[in-house]
Amino acid sequence: MTAVRTHTHAQAVDAAIDLFSRQGYEQTTVEEIADAAQVSRATFFRRFRSKEDVVFADHELLLEEVVVMLAATRPEARDSVEAGTRETVWDPAVDPYLEVCRAARLVFDHHVGQRETSLARHRLLQEVPALRDRELVTTHRYERAFTAYLRDTLPPDRSTTTMSIAFAASVVAVHNAVLRRWLRNPHLDLRPDLEEAFAELRRAAWAPGAEGGTPPASTGTSDQAGEGSTRRVVVAVLDADADADDVARAVRDVLA
């Protein structure tokens, strides 16, 4: 994560996770977290509203960073002098699907980079049901951010709400599946697996007959949408413990 994760923020998050792991979530007080982080109680509440918030504080920063990262490749809106109207200009070199995968990779790299905190947070989530519920809410926020970006960034002839939702959900599902594997086996380097799974999702999205259409020239793919290709709703049903390969394979099989 960038410098937006300040020293005070990092101290508070790391101290809270450590105390929760050693003492238990319910048994740990805000005062203890503030003391361990060497900040005042007032400072703690200016940054975090509750103990639950501090557990997911990094995600708040990550979401902000993801939104900023994606915004940099959104199409530009500019005034048309001749027509006297405002038009949207798409960059043909931008692959919106690739940009979403890059944003998800940012989240994955943060977890891996904060190894001990990530592992401790994962154990904590297994022990506290309320925190698992909050994690689901956070996951949906990433999906909404990805979906909104795709709807705004894919050119009109390629953009549909259905495809945007499906691709965003698939990317988040693949990311979470690979992340869970890493959390169970933190000695493994699973980034190549994540990259391959994302690449497979992009190939499926740009495949002939898929709603995505033809990829930008910069993506390096040669898939072309055939004449008379039809648009369709894509639904893939998987078990809750499906891994990245299962998700990618299911989407590919349906699109095929």
Domains of the chain: 1-54 (1.10.10.60), 56-255 (1.10.357.10)
Using the CB atoms, write b or e for 57-88: b if 16+ within 10 Å: bbbebbbebbeeebeebbbeeeeeeeeeeeee
Total number of residues shown for the chain: 256
Higher-confidence position of 211 and 29: 29
- What's the confidence (pLDDT) of residue 243? 65
Higher-pLDDT residue of 16 and 7 is 16
Select from 164, 120, 125 the least CA-distant residue to 19.
120
36: which residues sit within 8 A by CB, 6+ positions away? 15, 16, 18, 19
Of 54-63, 85-94, 138-147, 238-247, highest mean pLDDT: 138-147
With 0-12 / 13-18 / 19 or more C-beta atoms within 10 angstroms meaning exposed / middle / buried, residue 214 is middle
Q: Looking at this protein, which amino acid is placed at residue 175?
A: H
Mean pLDDT of the chain: 80
Burial tier of 252 (Cβ tally within 10 Å: 0-12, 13-18, 19+): middle
d(CA 222, CA 204): 12
pTM: 0.74
What is the tens place of the pLDDT at every residue in 192-247? 999 999 999 999 987 765 654 556 654 443 333 333 334 455 556 666 566 666 67
| Structure confidence by residue, pLDDT tens digits, 44-77 | 888 888 888 888 888 888 999 999 999 988 876 5
pLDDT at 29 over 50: yes
Using 50, 70 and 90 to split pLDDT, how confident is the model at 79? very low
At residue 6, the pLDDT reads: 66
